[in-house]
Amino acid sequence: MHGPVDRLQRGNRIGRSRFAAGEVWLADVTLRVHMGSSTVFLMYHELERPGRPLCQTEPGYVRYILSEADFREHVKSLAARGWHGWSVGQALQGVPSAGVVITFDDGCETDLLMAAPLLREHGMNATFYVTTGFVGKAGYLSVQQVRELHGLGFEIGCHSKTHPYLSDVDTERLRDEVAGAKGQLEQWLGARIEHFSCPGGRYDARVQAAVRDAGYTSMTTSRNQANGVSTDRFELGRVAVLRGTGADGFEKLSAGRGLWRLNLGDEIRRTAKRALGNSMYDRVRGALLGEGK
């Protein structure tokens, strides 16, 4: 908890409140230099191998599914640049060299069968956010496989119990999805679970408070932004890596180039969700993506 991020935050607060103007300036410069090297958190889901059925098949799901071959190219692209793949926990403690944070949502079996071997081959880490209610279902990790992933040194995070939009559920259900799922994972692994990711990227202040109260130390969203020293640890951005993202697109994404354009799209979607509500928004989106054809 005493990595460069914490030190800089403390330095900057002290600079603002207690020291002379020159030192405030110095703290601000330091902050800006660090922000210049802010880290992109990447969000993956299930991986696809020819002939192997996916966990779900609707277009809204499949657009987040990459082929195993594309993911292999991404890992090779990082390695060729001398970049590292970090877990969320490592990044929050301050990382010593260039890299990205690699995360997987949902807890699909391909986390262990396809992603883990490729990451290990290149000495990279990652955080796998598991949905506890999916564990043991066809195509998802079993309890034993979650333990295996953890035993290999990867970080296990929580992605709720049943994957609802958390901003839509009542207080009791929210606690069960956030704190209940944490307790279940901790019981399975005999280890502390510190990081949470929001299903469907949906959250609000109430969700943030529930995650904080449950004892997590971070929460990731699906906001297209890199994370730096000033980013709220309970509102960390993550960039979705979409189906068909090849080596060129990946290089741009991992370096955080073009995120402003994605951010603009986010803003438009957020406005639409607010205006329509989550369920109507999903119906409209499904129609636009050709669901039901």
Q: Which stretch binds Zn ion (CB under 5 A): 47-55, 194-202, 219-227, 285-293?
A: 194-202
Q: Is 106 in the site for Zn ion (CB under 5 A)?
A: yes
Spatial separation of the C-alpha atoms in residues 282 and 249, rounded to whole Å? 27
Taking the chain, what is the end-to-end CA distance rounded to the nearest angstrom? 51
Q: Which stretch binds Zn ion (CB under 5 A): 48-56, 64-72, 193-201, 204-212?
A: 193-201
Spatial separation of the C-alpha atoms in residues 53 and 109, rounded to whole Å? 12
Smallest separation, CB 135 to Zn ion (Å): 14
Task: Count interface residues toward Zn ion (CB under 5 A).
Answer: 3
Place of tokens 């971070």: 218
Q: Which of 48, 105, 111, 194 binds Zn ion (CB under 5 A)?
A: 105
Phi, psi of 108, rounded to the nearest 5 degrees:
-75, 155
Torsion of CA 200, 259, 55, 155, to 10 degrees: -80
Q: Is 46 in the site for Zn ion (CB under 5 A)?
A: no
Smallest separation, CB 26 to Zn ion (Å): 43
Helix/strand number for the chain, H first, E second: 14, 10
Spatial separation of the C-alpha atoms in residues 38 and 94, rounded to whole Å? 11
DSSP code for 112: I
x/- site string to Zn ion, residues 142 to 181, per CB under 5 A?
Answer: ----------------------------------------
x/- site string to Zn ion, residues 198 to 237, per CB under 5 A?
Answer: -x--------------------------------------
Q: Which stretch binds Zn ion (CB under 5 A): 75-83, 170-178, 196-204, 258-266?
A: 196-204
Spatial separation of the C-alpha atoms in residues 170 and 173, rounded to whole Å? 5
Q: 103 vs 231, which CB is nearer to Zn ion? A: 103
**By the criterion CB under 5 A, which residues form the site for Zn ion?**
105-106, 199
